């Protein structure tokens, strides 16, 4: 069974890869459509991903605390 830290690591690695590819695309895609896409899709996705990562961290802390309490 995968742990929360595994899920966090997978999400972090996937996000870093996606961010690198977005950055690479931005080197040649520099028009208004890029800016609109960034504003309407990329920036909200970045915020949601960061929020999910913070939530996974908090949840992992709560689960670890609960596991220590029952031992």
pLDDT for 71 equals: 83
pLDDT for 1 equals: 47
pLDDT tens-digit profile, the chain (71 residues): 468 888 999 999 999 999 999 999 999 999 999 999 999 999 999 999 999 999 999 999 999 999 999 98
Look up the pTM and report it. 0.83
Distances (CA, A) of 52 to 10, 30, 67: 12, 29, 22
pLDDT for 2 equals: 66
Task: Compute the distance between CA of residue 46 and CA of residue 5 in angstroms, rounded to an integer.
Answer: 20
């Amino acid at each position: 069974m995968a742990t929360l830290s595994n899920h966090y690591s997978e999400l972090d690695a996937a996000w870093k890869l996606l961010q690198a590819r977005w950055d690479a695309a931005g080197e040649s895609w520099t028009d208004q459509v890029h800016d609109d896409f960034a504003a309407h899709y990329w920036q909200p996705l970045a915020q949601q991903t960061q929020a999910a990562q913070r939530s996974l961290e908090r949840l992992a802390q709560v689960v670890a605390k609960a596991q220590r309490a029952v031992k």
